[in-house]
Amino acid sequence: GENVEQHPSTLSVQEGDSAVIKCTYSDSASNYFPWYKQELGKRPQLIIDIRSNVGEKKDQRIAVTLNKTAKHFSLHITETQPEDSAVYFCAASKLIDFGNEKLTFGTGTRLTIIP
């Protein structure tokens, strides 16, 4: 089955600096890569996603890049703010059957923004 590895497990950055989280996946059939943000005690929420036919996508201070050949994708947060502190999960999705997809999550990165 699919295996998604995520690094680092913890990351602390000064407010205003950039943060980068990296993930690798094992199954070349995976074609959709969402990133979820989970604040303490709350539900995971989708913050950005990318499909396999796109190499990069940006939404304000957040960007995601995908390298299909190397099977890795990254989340970039610029101009970090205290409210960016949370656990971030990457995930990889592939078609299983009858038009259904299966999502496999990484182990998460706890991001702390230091004021």
Question: Which residues are at the interface with other proteins (CB under 8 A)?
Answer: 1, 4, 6, 32, 34, 36, 42-46, 49, 51, 89, 91, 93, 96-108
The least distance separating other proteins from the CB of residue 70, rounded to whole angstroms, comes to 21
The least distance separating other proteins from the CB of residue 99, rounded to whole angstroms, comes to 6
- Picking from 114, 113, 110, the residue whose alpha carbon sits closest to that of residue 40 is 110
The least distance separating other proteins from the CB of residue 56, rounded to whole angstroms, comes to 17
41 or 115: CB nearest other proteins: 41
The least distance separating other proteins from the CB of residue 5, rounded to whole angstroms, comes to 11
Name the residue type at position 33: F
What residues contact residue 105 under an 8 Å CB cut-off, 6+ apart? Answer: 4, 36, 89, 90, 91
78 or 104: CB nearest other proteins: 104
60 or 100: CB nearest other proteins: 100
What residues contact residue 43 under an 8 Å CB cut-off, 6+ apart? Answer: none
The whole-angstrom separation of Cα 59 and Cα 25 is 23
